[in-house]
Structure 1
Amino acid sequence: MTPGHIALWTVLGVALVISVVTDVMRREILDVVTYPLMAVGLGVRLATEGVGGLGDGLLSGLVSGVGMALLLVPAAARGQMGWGDVKLMGGVGAVLGFPASMAAAAFISLAGAAQAVVSLLWQGAVWDTVSAALRRWAVRLHLARSDAQPAARRHIPYGVAIALGTFWALWWQHESLG
C-alpha cells in the first residue's frame, strides 16, 4: 500500500465519521466535508498517479466519483434522499477509484438495505411500510383508487450506510491486496 493510499483512506475515514455524526444528529451531510473530500481525493490521485486511466490516477477518480454520485441522483431528485448523500458518494468514488468503487457501491447497497430493515423494525413501522407498498401497487394495477393519504416519510440517515459500506469495501480491498 502506497503512502498516497494511506493518506486518501485517512481523509476518507475522517470525512465519513463526520458525515455520520452530522447526518444522524442534524439530518445533513455538510458541503464543507464533501467538496474537500472530492478535491483532496482527485488531487492526491493526480499527484501520486498522474492522469492515469480507468484503473488509476485522476481519470479513475473522476469516473468513479461521477458514477457513484449518479447512483443516488434519482432518489435525491424525488426527495427520497438528500443531495449531501449524492456528494458524499461522489467523494467516496473519487477517493477509491475503479474497481474499488464498484465493491463500495455493492457494500453500501447491502448496508443500506440492512439499515432500512433495522430502522423500520426499531420504529415499529414494518406493517405501515408493507401496506403502503401494497396500496401503491394496487393503484398502479388499477385495483384501487389513489385517494389515500401518502404515508409519512421516515428519515433513515443514509450517510451511515455509505460509511459502513465504504469501510467494508476498504477492508475487503485491504484483505485482497494483502
Structure 2
Amino acid sequence: MIITIILLTILIISLITDVMKRKILNIVTLPTILIAFSYYTLNLGVNGFFFSGKGFLVGLGLLLIPYLLGGMGAGDVKLMAAIGALMGTSFVFYSFIYTAIIGGLIALILVIKTNGFNNSFKSLFFNTVFLKSNLGSVILQKDKKSSISFPYGVAIVLGTLCTLIWGGY
C-alpha cells in the first residue's frame, strides 16, 4: 500500500513538472530509488534488494538506448528506473509496453495535427528509395523548426497508470 502511494505521488509530481518545465526532477526520482531499495531490503532482505535491483535495471535499460540516441531526456530514464525499483521487473516491463503505445499515439496525433504527415511520408519514401544515401537528405532538408517533441513523461505516467489499473504483471 505504501509503495503504491509513493508511486502515485512521484507520478503526479513528474507529470506536473514535465508538462510545465519539461523536466523530471532528480529530487523526485533519486530518493524514490533509494526508498525502494531500502524498503524491500528491510522487509525482504537480500531477496528484496534483488527484487528492487532487477526492477531498477530493467527500467533503466528499457529507455537507455532511446536516451543515448537523443530521443528523450535523462529524467525519463530515471523515472522508469524508479518505477522499476518500486514495483519490480514485470510491472515496469508492462508499464513500458503501455508507455510505448501511448507515446506512439501521442506522436502520431502531433504529426497529423502539425500537418507533418505528408513530410514524414516523403522522408520515409526518399530514405527507402535511396537507402539513406546523401541524395535523399539533399532532397529533403531537415530543420530543427519542423521537429516535433513532447514531454515523454506524460506517456510514462499514463502507461504506468494503465499497468496499475489493468495489471498485466
- Alignment match of 1:159 (pick from 153, 160, 169): 153
Cα distance in 1, alignment partners of residues 37 and 130 from structure 2 = 46
Question: How much identity, in percent, do the aligned residues show?
Answer: 28
Where structure 1 has 5 or more consecutive residues not aligned to the other structure, the ranges are 1-5
Question: Displacement, 1:20?
Answer: 1.2
- Structure 2 match to 1:77: 68
C-alpha contact 1:139 1:146 (8 A) present in aligned 2:
no
- Return the TM-score normalized by structure 2: 0.86
Match of 1:42 in 2: 37
1:143–1:77: structure 2 CA closer, same or farther, 3 Å change rule? closer
Partner of 2:56: 65
For the structure 1 residues 145 and 130, does the alpha-carbon distance in structure 2 shift closer, same or farther, using more than 3 Å as the test?
A: closer
Return the structure number with greater helix share.
2
Question: Could you give the per-residue CA deviations for residues 114-160 of structure 1, whole angstroms, max 9, x where no partner exists?
Answer: 22122223333322333333333334254944223224322121101
User: Which residue does the alignment assign to 1:3?
Assistant: none
Q: Secondary structure at the match of 2:60?
A: helix
Aligned length: 166
Asked if 1 retains the 8 angstrom alpha-carbon contact of 2:59 and 2:89, the reply is no
2:4 alignment counterpart: 9
Q: 1:115 maps to what in 2? A: 106
1:113, 1:102 → 2: CA distance? 16
CA RMSD of aligned residues (A): 2.1
CA distance in 2, matches of 1:46, 1:116: 39
